[in-house]
Each structure stands twice: as C-alpha cells, then as structure tokens.
Chains A and B, each alone.
Chain A
C-alpha cells in the first residue's frame, strides 16, 4: 500500500529568526508502522511533525505523504490523510463542547446530517468518552481532554496519526490507558515523546533526533541499549531497561 508512505528527502527547516531547526532530515515510514521520534528538548521533534502536515513547509528538500508531495495545492488532501494531535489539548479543543469539537473536522470535510453524527459517535465511542459529549472542554480532566483531542482527529478518519507528547500531564492510569489506545490503532503512527517506556511498548522502530539531524534510526530495543548514543543525544535508557533499584538485578 504505497499510498500511506511518509517520506522526507533531505528536509531543512529554518525559522524566520534564522534558527536552523532541521538539517537535512531523510526518513521513510511505511504503512501501519509505529515510529517513535525521540530527542532532547529543542532537538527539532515538533518542527519535524509540523512539516509532515504542511503547517510548516520545508525551506529545502521535500515531504511526501502517500502519493502526494506536500505543497499548497495538495494541502487539503494531506490534512485529510494526516491527523495531528497536538501537545496541549487545550489548543486543540477550541469548540464550545466536546461533541462540537469532534464534529469540527468531518464538518470541514463536507459531511452533514446523519453521516456527520455517525462519524462523531464512532470517534467518541472509540475513545470511550460518549458521556462527555456535551461537556465544555474546561470541565474535562487532563486525561479526558487528551482522549477528546484524539477523538477529534479520529473523526476525520486519517490514515496517519501524528502525536506530540501524548502522555505528558497524565496520571499513571491515564498514561496506561493512552498506551493501550495507541497500541490498538492500526494507523501509521509517528509519536514524538520523552516517555521512552511508552516507546518500548508501542513503537518497534525509533528515530533519534539531535540538533536537527537524525542520529539513529532502527529497532527500538537496539537503540535503547546503546548507552553511548543515548548519552550523546541527552537521553537516558528507559526505566524498564535499567536494573532493579532495590536488588540491582538486570531487566528480564
């Protein structure tokens, strides 16, 4: 299925103030893959994500989503295919009620009436939040907001999901539920996160970004066992790969 491939060729992005956030990033992600994007603060993770849905256009190089290069002309199609879940759900839930918010995307895609209602119902049910439909966003807990934001994107039936820090600010149970939800998706998933234990569970493949360049790209376990590499990129191996803090025994 060639049409769900995400491909970056030598992408460079320079912010208007001159900051070079991406320096020649090349990457190919195929259908149904779950890929983690890890790296220190300011490594360029968010910039990379914004380049994938045309919110930012590469200064040089090219981005392809499926059969389309990302350009002004293909933007509508790209945004139908790529669903972006932003870091702060408060930025994403801007409509008066959760139900309104979930219907925002499909409405923009031209759905009306019964079909629109069904889409919204499905997305809310998928995230288990049907009962919150009429709540205003400021009356939701952090976990509920997060699930609401995902529902609002699922309602557009994207093929590719982009998630920026999906577990920040969640309590352990909320985080656990989020991991299960992410594991359950059949979509192509690109997840930028500092939560390396989440990466171990959800993403077989990891891309390490540092100072705007890709430092490593490969099987998650291999990368997390490379202590040198992690150290150089200001990262730490995930807790589940460290020895037990009480008895000192190694993992597994």
Chain B
C-alpha cells in the first residue's frame, strides 16, 4: 500500500490536492499553463530595482488560493524548500552594488539591497505560482497540457518519469537510511563518508532501474513517446478567465498601478 516514507517527506501532497474539485481545478490545464506563463514572464521582466510594483501579483495569489482551497501554509512550505536557491543567487547583490539610492530614517538604502529584495520577491511569487499550478492541475495533466501546447516530447517524458520515480526513489532512500540507522545505534556513523556511500549506492540503483524500465518499455513496443492520453475540453469561460487574468498581469506590468492607487488614495484623502 502507501509507503510511510511518502507521508513523511510530504511527497504527493500536491497530487492529492489536485484531485479535489473547485472552480480553479475545473479550468482546462492548457489555459492554466498559459495563464501561469504570462504571470511568470510579467513578474521576471520587471527591472531589477522594482519592488513595489510587484505587489498586485501577490493579490492575485491571495485571491486564487482560497478559491482553489489550496492551504497557504502548504504553498509557503514548498516555496521555503527552494528559497535557498534564490538566496544564493541574490546574496552578493548588496555587496556589489553599494550605491545608496534612497535614505530611510537616515539609513542609506543601496541599490544592491533593493535588487536583493526584488529577486527574492520575484522568486517567491513565481515559485508560489508554480506550486499553486501543480496543486490545482496535477503534475501529469500539466505534462500532457505541455505536450499539447508543443513542448518537445523529450522534455515531457523526462518530467513524467521524474515525477513517477520520485516516489520509488524516495522510498528506497528512506529504507536505506533506516537500515543505516538501525545498524549504528548510539554511534556517529552519520558522517559524510557513510552519506556519500549511501548516495553512491542510490545512484547505481537508479541506473539499474532505469535500464530495467527501458527494457520494459521496449517490450511493449515503445517508440519514443509516452504522453498519457488526456482529452482536454476547454469551455468558453476558461478562455475568458485566461484573457482577463493575462490582460490584468500585462496591465500591472505596463502601468504603474501601485503609485496610481497611491496618488488616488492621496487625492481622495486630500
């Protein structure tokens, strides 16, 4: 049945969520993919010192998550998992770019500090968007949608197999870890040497399995294509959703909504 290793790694949570039903789940996966791509491209194309203008995109996520019944904490946890990558990328910005651009309460704020924050915000937004996309679509449907939208077969096949064997591999890793722990009670055999032996062994096992899978595919007349056969049907409402949200993303990108709203608010107050 269900391997306990899966639960404790939090694997498969997103797939579980994708089986739920909500207005967002019902949207055609292709439409969701196009919408997400527009979302991501708009965000990453902002200039490097831009932070405030990214705010509206947060609103979009804040709107879509409850609608899709995706728990915010889950998305936050998944994003936190990959955040170190972004931190690594942005870490040196404050050191390289020391030109003060503004002063806040007598403290100089350098360009590097702003671009650091900008990278992190962009990363968090796009990663949260991607996690949400998988949670409301399911990885397999997403790959099928990619294939339908012209993404090369080689890539979708890799992604599908990666996803399928993530579960097998993590169960194997968990079993090896348990075996190691049980044979090293009270000692510190958990050093880098044991870890590297375990990892090396896992890699070899993966190779062997890949070979067996390839044989199994060949035995069933495989010809280089493993796209699952999904029939997608998009309702007119799906495309209305797509056009409206994409228009909104592009408008936020092109026009300065934050300061427009700011001056509007000031105008009303004044």
Q: Which residues of A contact B (CB under 8 A)?
A: 50, 53, 55, 76, 79-80, 82-84, 86, 88, 90-92, 94-97, 100, 103-105, 107-109, 116, 136-141, 152-153, 156
- Docked pose: A79 CA to B221 CA in angstroms: 6
Q: Give the chain B neighbours of A76 by CB distance below 8 A.
A: 221
**In angstroms, how far is the closest chain A Cβ from the Cβ of B36?**
20
Check if B2 sits within 8 Å of A55, measured CB to CB. Answer: no
**In angstroms, how far is the closest chain A Cβ from the Cβ of B191?**
31
- Docked pose: A95 CA to B143 CA in angstroms: 12
- Docked pose: A185 CA to B227 CA in angstroms: 31
Smallest CB gap from B220: residue in A = A105
Q: A50-B215, A94-B164, A96-B160 are in contact. Are A109 and B12 (CB under 8 A)?
A: no
Q: Of residues 175 to 221 in B, which have CB atoms within 8 Å of A's CB atoms?
A: 209, 212-213, 215-221
Main secondary structure of the interface of B (DSSP, over half): helix
Check if A91 sits within 8 Å of B213, measured CB to CB. Answer: yes
Interface size on B, residues (CB 8 A): 31
Q: A91-B212, A108-B221 are in contact. Are A139 and B2 (CB under 8 A)?
A: yes
Q: Give the chain A neighbours of B165 by CB distance below 8 A.
A: 94
- Docked pose: A205 CA to B79 CA in angstroms: 59
**In angstroms, how far is the closest chain B Cβ from the Cβ of A191?**
16
Q: Quick check: is B15 within 8 A (CB to CB) of the other chain?
A: yes
- Docked pose: A90 CA to B161 CA in angstroms: 12
| B215 CB contact (under 8 Å) in A55, A83, A97, A140 | A55
Apart from A83-B219, A91-B216, A108-B223: 18 A-B pairs, beta carbons within 8 A: A55-B219, A79-B221, A82-B219, A86-B212, A86-B215, A91-B209, A94-B165, A96-B139, A96-B140, A96-B228, A97-B228, A105-B220, A109-B221, A116-B229, A136-B140, A138-B3, A138-B167, A139-B2
Q: A80-B221, A136-B15 are in contact. Are A92 and B160 (CB under 8 A)?
A: no
| A152 CB contact (under 8 Å) in B209, B220, B228 | B220
Which of A55, A86, A92, A96 lies at the interface centre, i.e. has the most chain B CB atoms within 10 A of its CB?
Answer: A96
Main secondary structure of the interface of A (DSSP, over half): helix
Smallest CB gap from A53: residue in B = B219
Q: Quick check: is B168 within 8 A (CB to CB) of the other chain?
A: yes
Which of A104, A141, A156 lies at the interface centre, i.e. has the most chain B CB atoms within 10 A of its CB?
Answer: A104
**In angstroms, how far is the closest chain B Cβ from the Cβ of A86?**
5
- 21 sampled A-B residue pairs with Cβ under 8 A: A55-B219, A79-B220, A82-B219, A86-B216, A88-B212, A90-B168, A91-B213, A94-B161, A95-B228, A96-B163, A100-B229, A104-B220, A104-B226, A108-B221, A108-B222, A136-B15, A136-B140, A136-B164, A138-B6, A138-B167, A139-B2
